[in-house]
Amino acid sequence: MRLAGCEVTNYPTSIATEPMTAPLAQGEILIRPLTANDALPLYRAVRASIDSLSYWLPWCHAGYSEADAADWTSYCQQAWESRREFPFGIFDRGGELLGGVGLSQVDRANNRANLGYWVAAVHRGKGIASTAARLAARMGFEQLGFTRIEIVVLVDNIASHQVAEKLGATREAEARNRLVFQGRPADAVVYSLIPGDLAASGG
């Protein structure tokens, strides 16, 4: 499962060695690693959002099943254990699953990761993606010691651009053939965050 706006390789020795298990929260939104118990809520959230998500995210397709959701939650647990990437579910305080956010494509040699996010259709327009993305980025900087986080967004994915800009990310370039979209190379905008950006943007 790849996240919207999304693009894991030796952490510096200063990075914590234990995976984070406690939720990170801001206001009514929290993020935490997914468990097997989240498979059914994930399935329902994806199924209810297929019409809008399937255009951007190839894993969100008409045949998306409960088995796909279970496979993803299992993969997430393995990813955290191996520390190859750091996917989260997005939840409200009542425990409802609202979407997903994560740090992936980690470049350990250069202390960098990629940030991606998606929110279920019924919950969009409420600032959930930017809140969750800020929490994930803060964890990446403060707990994992990254010094750069990238957000790579297809040129016409306006909603993902808005999230990146709300975080205070710097728009660095429009990179040619940066992503493969619907089987073909596509241009994408590369945004970057460094630790001071979150503080500067109120994070």
- pLDDT tens digits, the chain, 203 residues: what are they? 545 544 333 333 344 445 455 689 999 999 999 999 999 999 999 999 998 888 888 888 889 999 999 999 999 999 999 999 999 999 999 999 999 999 999 999 999 999 999 999 999 999 999 999 999 999 999 999 999 999 999 999 999 999 999 999 999 999 999 999 999 999 999 999 999 998 666 66
Could you tell me the CA-to-CA distances from 47 to 13, 57, 58 in Å, in that order? 41, 13, 13
DSSP secondary structure code for residue 12 in this structure: -
> In this structure, what token pair is assigned to residue 114?
């990629």
Asked if CATH classification 3.50.30.10 holds for the domain at 24-200, the reply, yes or no, is no
> In this structure, what token pair is assigned to residue 13?
């020795």
pLDDT at position 21 is 54
Exposure class string for 50-63: b at 16+ Cβ within 10 A, else e: bebbeebbeebeee
pLDDT at position 75 is 95
User: Are the C-beta atoms of 46 and 69 separated by less than 8 Å?
Assistant: yes
User: Are the C-beta atoms of 20 and 29 separated by less than 8 Å?
Assistant: no
pLDDT at position 154 is 96
Dist. CA 197–CA 195, nearest whole Å: 6
Alpha helices in the chain (DSSP H): 39-47, 50-53, 66-82, 128-142, 158-166, 195-200
pLDDT at position 13 is 35
